């Protein structure tokens, strides 16, 4: 526990580094938290340098009172790199509190991350879309697509990283998608986890290829129960 953090700021840190990405996260809370753990340096024109330990990153004050989802994801990455990714709540074995099981249903346009479908906790759903602040990659059509001359447009790794961060607290992970080979976002996610998050990849207990157009929540629950 950081002696500079009171209970309020411990809870803010926990929301930022664990579980699904929080929505509507207040800029004022972020500035307070970083100020408690390190320093916030104004850089002019609404830009600020956040410094925690040896890590430094630049963030702009949002036009609204809350950070956009993409900026929250970037802030989480910054805190992990600064060594603050374990949160403040630990179990007796020193591990961060984890959710029993999470399920990601993914295609190239959208990922839905479910938790509690096995009845272990209340059901939640968190949708993660490819990061696209300027509208250049809608439906994963790359803005430089013309230069690839028929080759497949590159995937957006920021999309898969955000899915990975949503899955980070899970003890067990079930991945559901459709298609095979380069047409499969599921296979890309599996390879992404294997390369960039090998410990998380080891917690993937099952992958399922299904027709997503006919997939309902009861069918997802049935898939999860097959792997209990």
31 — pLDDT class (breaks 50, 70, 90): very high
Same domain, 55 and 20: yes
End-to-end CA distance of the chain: 35
Q: How many percent of the chain have pLDDT more than 90?
A: 19
- Residue at which a domain ends, from 34, 54, 81: 81
Residue 89 covered by a domain: no
Claim to verify: residue 130 and residue 200 sit in the same structural domain: yes
Mean pLDDT over the full length of the chain? 76
CB count in 10 Å sphere of residue 129: 13
Please tell me whether the overall predicted TM-score, pTM, comes out greater than 0.75 for this model.
no
- Per-residue pLDDT tens over the stretch 126-140: 666 655 444 433 323
pLDDT at 51 over 50: yes
pLDDT of residue 122: 53
Q: Which domain holds residue 219?
A: 99-226
pLDDT at 7: 79
pLDDT of residue 155: 66
What's the pLDDT tens digit per position in 72-113?
888 888 888 888 765 444 433 334 445 578 888 888 878 888
Residues 113 and 38 in one domain: no
- What confidence category does residue 210 fall into, taking pLDDT thresholds of 50, 70 and 90? very high
- The pLDDT assigned to 142 comes to 29
pLDDT bin (cut points 50, 70, 90) of residue 220 is: confident
Domain for residue 66, yes or no? yes
pLDDT, position 41: 93
Based on the domain organization, do 217 and 182 belong to the same domain? yes
Is-contact 84 17, C-beta < 8 A? yes
Residue 94 lies in a domain: no
159-203 pLDDT tens trace: 888 888 888 878 889 999 987 766 688 999 999 999 999 888 999
């Amino acid at each position: 526990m950081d002696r500079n953090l009171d209970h309020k700021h411990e809870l803010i840190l926990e929301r930022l580094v664990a579980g699904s990405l929080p929505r509507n996260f207040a800029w004022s809370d972020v500035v307070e938290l970083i100020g408690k753990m390190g320093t916030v340096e104004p850089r002019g024109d609404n830009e600020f340098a956040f410094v925690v330990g040896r890590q430094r990153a630049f963030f702009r004050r949002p036009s609204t009172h809350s950070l956009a989802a993409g900026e929250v994801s970037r802030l989480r990455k910054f805190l992990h790199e600064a060594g603050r990714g374990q949160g403040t709540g630990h179990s007796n074995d020193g591990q961060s509190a984890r959710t029993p099981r999470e399920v990601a249903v993914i295609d190239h346009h959208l990922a839905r991350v479910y938790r509690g479908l096995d009845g272990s906790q209340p059901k939640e759903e968190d949708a993660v879309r490819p990061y696209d602040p300027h509208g250049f990659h809608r439906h994963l059509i790359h803005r430089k697509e013309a230069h690839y001359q028929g080759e497949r447009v590159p995937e957006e790794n920021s999309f898969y990283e955000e899915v990975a961060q949503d899955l980070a607290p899970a003890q067990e992970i079930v991945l559901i998608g459709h298609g095979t080979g380069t047409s499969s976002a599921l296979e890309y996610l599996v390879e992404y986890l294997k390369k960039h998050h090998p410990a998380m990849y080891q917690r993937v207990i099952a992958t399922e290829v299904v027709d997503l157009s006919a997939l309902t929540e009861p069918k997802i629950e049935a898939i999860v129960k097959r792997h209990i």
